[in-house]
């Protein structure tokens, strides 16, 4: 079997969104699983809607997701001479012809057909005229008038199309630009793509593309059409369903691993397993297990999976993802080891990196600002003596570990007769500014003796 070569050909007319990303991931996973190659190509023949900032944004999103390519990125706009060459082949072999039917005539015929209750299609006026190339002429593909074209789809099985339904499609517009179906086929041929996985919104294009492969004399690639991603109302996923761009999930504090895991599971399964690392996906991915029904996008499930990935990751892995979120709060981390220790206390409590950044601010600020309600309730004169006693005990503590800190608190409870909460809550407010944080001993160990003592002193001063 030849090396698998897959591709992802986005049109740079928008950001990379959930559905497109899933298609990219499927093709990438298949290439990685089969030790094949993955090609990236921008379909930018629509000069009006294609934009460089969308190209950049799609590239950034792919890189962030961890999808790397072995070849490309290609740009269709730079390949017009190649399309021209293949167009000439079709003209030379009689598989294509010039058509000079005016838009008005075509529109009128289309309207009349619809009024008769027929499916509008090109009536073949120029098909056998043998017209030469003229200003304003388009090139049409001479599609067979009889027979059927079968798409042997690895996901959907055999899908047959009656050739009578496939009219002579335009392959080159009057301005010389190639149309989608033609450019895609020429690209996939010349880029040696042998496996095409894409959304099933393209299934109707596939018989036309197969006919073009045959006319050009090239083998038809393997096709697989994946059911669409739908919103909870079973309508095509759109802005109405919330954020749909990959960039928006990045900004909201999702881990790329979680998003990839979620998107793959949205159309593929491996038993009941929900949580996958990227390595596992590469190892287990196969076309056979792509599902036959639409995937329903569920933001809550994605969030839950993100939490799981945050929990399962090493702090070292999370650190570079967290830093940009801390930077939004003007925190520049200088001590990576300290950051990792802080992260390890927050992993079980954070659904997103944004949560984690907010929850970790107290580790990094020079001065704690107390939440008003917390200070009013817990930083009162009656706690002064306790805080002073704690400060004194910590001063003589040889090692500053969770274990030894726990012992200090046990001693304190015995000596003062206070419950753990009555000591821990004021200390928590002193150290973090609020009443919610990871475990008190955990945060004390991470903060370390210097920070803890200076924050306790600051709280004592504040109360006085």
Q: Site residues (CB under 6 A) for ligand GLU? A: 9-11, 43, 184, 198, 202
**Which is the catalytic residue, given 2, 35, 119, 239?**
239
- Tell me if residue 307 is catalytic: no
Sign of the alpha-carbon dihedral angle for 199, 203, 208, 212: positive
Shortest CB 199 distance to ligand GLU, Å: 7
C-beta closer to ligand GLU: residue 185 or 340:
185
Strands, E assignment, 200-246 = 222-226, 229-230
Shortest CB 122 distance to ligand GLU, Å: 22
- At residue 79, the 3 state secondary structure works out as coil
C-beta closer to ligand GLU: residue 47 or 373:
47
User: Which one-letter DSSP state was computed for residue 286?
Assistant: -
Q: State both tokens at 439.
A: 């475990």
Q: Residue 99's CB: how many other CB atoms inside 10 A?
A: 20
Q: Residue 202's CB: how many other CB atoms inside 10 A?
A: 17
Cα(245)–Cα(54) distance, integer angstroms: 12
C-beta closer to ligand GLU: residue 202 or 351:
202
Residue environment code for 107-139, b if the CB has 16+ CB neighbours within 10 A, otherwise e: eebeeeeeeeeeeebbebebbeeeeeeeeebbb
C-beta closer to ligand GLU: residue 16 or 408:
16
Cα(434)–Cα(425) distance, integer angstroms: 9
Q: State both tokens at 108.
A: 């009128």
C-beta closer to ligand GLU: residue 46 or 402:
46
DSSP string, 129-194: T-PPP-TT-EEEE---SSSEEEEEETTTEEEEEEGGGS---EEE-TTSPBPHHHHHHHHHHHTT--
Shortest CB 302 distance to ligand GLU, Å: 23
DSSP string, 418-448: --HHHHHHHHHHHHHSSS--S-HHHHHHHHH
Question: Which phi and psi (to 5°) does residue 49 adopt?
Answer: -90, -15
Cα(31)–Cα(415) distance, integer angstroms: 66
C-beta closer to ligand GLU: residue 198 or 428:
198
Cα(45)–Cα(191) distance, integer angstroms: 17
Question: Which strand (E) or helix (H) includes residue 199?
Answer: strand 195-199
Cα(156)–Cα(56) distance, integer angstroms: 34
Q: State both tokens at 372.
A: 């008003």
Shortest CB 180 distance to ligand GLU, Å: 7
C-beta closer to ligand GLU: residue 17 or 309:
17
Bridge partner list, 160 = 150
Active site members: 239
């Amino acid at each position: 079997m030849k090396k698998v070569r897959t591709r992802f050909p986005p049109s740079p007319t928008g950001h990379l969104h959930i559905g497109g990303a899933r298609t990219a991931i499927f093709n990438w996973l298949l290439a990685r699983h089969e030790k094949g190659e993955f090609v990236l190509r921008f379909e930018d023949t629509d000069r009006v809607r294609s934009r460089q900032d969308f190209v950049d944004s799609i590239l950034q999103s792919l890189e962030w997701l961890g999808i790397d390519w072995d070849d490309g990125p290609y740009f269709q706009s730079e390949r017009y001479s190649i399309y021209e060459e293949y167009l000439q082949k079709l003209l030379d072999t009689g598989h294509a012809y010039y058509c000079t039917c005016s838009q008005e005539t075509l529109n009128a015929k289309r309207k009349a057909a619809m009024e008769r209750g027929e499916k509008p299609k090109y009536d073949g006026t120029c098909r056998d005229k043998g017209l030469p190339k003229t200003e304003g002429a388009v090139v049409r593909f001479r599609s067979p008038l009889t027979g059927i074209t079968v798409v042997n789809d690895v996901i959907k099985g055999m899908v047959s199309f009656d050739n009578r339904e496939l009219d002579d499609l335009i392959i080159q517009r009057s301005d010389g630009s190639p149309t989608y179906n033609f450019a895609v086929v020429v690209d996939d041929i010349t880029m040696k793509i042998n496996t095409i996985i894409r959304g099933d919104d393209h299934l109707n294009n596939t018989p036309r593309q197969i006919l073009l492969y045959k006319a050009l004399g090239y083998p038809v690639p393997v096709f697989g059409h994946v059911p669409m991603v739908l919103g909870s109302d079973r309508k095509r996923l759109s802005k109405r369903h919330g954020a749909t761009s990959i960039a928006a999930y990045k900004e909201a504090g999702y881990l790329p691993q979680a998003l990839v895991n979620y998107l793959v599971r949205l159309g593929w399964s491996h038993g009941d397993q929900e949580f996958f690392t990227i390595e596992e996906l590469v190892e287990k991915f196969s076309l056979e297990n792509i599902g036959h029904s639409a995937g329903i996008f569920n933001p809550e499930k994605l969030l839950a999976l993100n939490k799981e990935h945050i929990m399962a990751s090493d702090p070292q892995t999370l650190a570079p993802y967290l830093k940009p979120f801390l930077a939004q709060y003007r925190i520049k981390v200088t001590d990576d080891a300290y950051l990792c220790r802080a992260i390890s206390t927050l992993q079980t409590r954070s659904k997103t990196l944004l949560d984690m950044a907010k929850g970790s601010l107290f580790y990094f600020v020079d001065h704690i600002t107390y939440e008003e309600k917390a200070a009013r309730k817990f930083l009162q004169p009656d706690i002064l003596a306790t805080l002073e006693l704690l400060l004194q005990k910590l001063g003589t503590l040889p090692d500053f570990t969770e274990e030894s800190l726990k012992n200090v608190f046990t001693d304190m409870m015995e000596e003062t007769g206070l419950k753990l909460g009555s000591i821990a809550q004021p200390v928590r407010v002193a150290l973090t500014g609020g009443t919610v944080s990871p475990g008190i001993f955990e945060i004390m160990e991470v903060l370390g003796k210097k920070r803890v003592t200076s924050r306790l002193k600051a709280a004592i001063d504040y109360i006085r």
